[in-house]
A = this chain, B = another copy of it.
Amino acid sequence: MSTTPDGPEAPGDEAPRDAWVSGDTDMDPAAFRAAAHAVVDVMADYLERLESYPVLPPVEPGSLRPLFPSEPPEHAEPLEAILADYRRLVEPNATQWQAPGFLAYFGTTASGPGVLGEMLTAVLGQNPMIWRTSPIGTELEMVVVDWLRQALGLPTGFDGLITDTASTSSLISLAAARQAAGVDASARGLPGRDVPELRVYASAEAHSSIDKALMTLGLGRANLIRIETNDRFEMRVDALEAAIAADRAAGRRPIAIVATVGTTSSTSADPVDRIATVAERDGLWLHVDAAYAGALAIVPSRRPAFAGWERADSIVVNPHKWLFAPLDASLLLTRRMAALRETFSLVPEYLRMLDRETPARDFTDFTPQLGRRFRALKLWVLLRAFGLEGLRRRLERHCALAAMFARWVEETPEWELLAPVPFSTVCFRHVPAWTAETGPDAARLVDEHNEAIMAGVNRQGEAFLSHTRLGGAFTIRLSVGNLRTEERHVARAWELLRQEAARLDRERATVRVEKPAAKKAPAVLD
Contact = CB atoms under 8 A, between A and B. Distances in A.
Contacts of A167: 368-371
A190 B187 contact: no
Interface stretch (A5-13, A381-389, A444-452): A381-389
Nearest to A123: B43
B165 A371 contact: yes
Nearest to A219: B189
Contacts of A109: 26, 125
A112 B195 contact: no
Interface string A116-142: 101111111111000111111101101
A48 to B, nearest CB: 4
B190 A191 contact: yes
Given A18-B385, A95-B126, A217-B218, A368 B46 contact: no
Given A186-B221, A344-B215, A125 B108 contact: yes
A59 interface: yes
A442 interface: no
Contacts of A369: 164-165, 167-168, 209, 212
A158 B434 CA distance: 54
Interface string A473-513: 00000000001111110000000000000000000000000
Please list the 10 inter-chain residue pairs (A to B) with the smallest Cβ-Cβ separation, ordered nearest first: A189-B220, A218-B218, A192-B197, A61-B360, A62-B359, A27-B112, A33-B44, A110-B125, A72-B147, A118-B122
A440 interface: no
A209 B116 CA distance: 32
A25 interface: yes
Nearest to A56: B132
Contact of A108 (B127, B178, B381): B127
A101 interface: no
A260 interface: no
A373 B36 contact: no
Contact of A135 (B64, B193, B368): B64
Interface stretch (A86-94, A271-279, A299-307, A514-522): A86-94
Contacts of A61: 131, 135, 358-361
Given A36-B116, A72-B150, A93 B136 contact: yes
B388 A97 contact: no
A488 B387 CA distance: 46
Contact of A94 (B134, B171, B195, B214): B134
Interface string A309-330: 0000000000010001011100
A79 interface: yes
A185 interface: yes
Interface string A60-74: 111011001011111
A218 B178 contact: yes
B44 A32 contact: yes
Given A36-B115, A64-B140, A118-B118, 6 more contacts: A33-B44, A61-B131, A90-B377, A164-B373, A191-B196, A327-B371
A471 interface: no
A181 B340 CA distance: 29
Nearest to A60: B358
A139 B64 contact: yes
A112 B65 contact: no
B17 A387 contact: yes
Contacts of A77: 384-385, 387
A20 B385 contact: yes
A294 interface: no
A182 interface: no
B368 A76 contact: no
Contact of A72 (B124, B320, B383): B383
B186 A486 contact: no
A98 B134 CA distance: 12
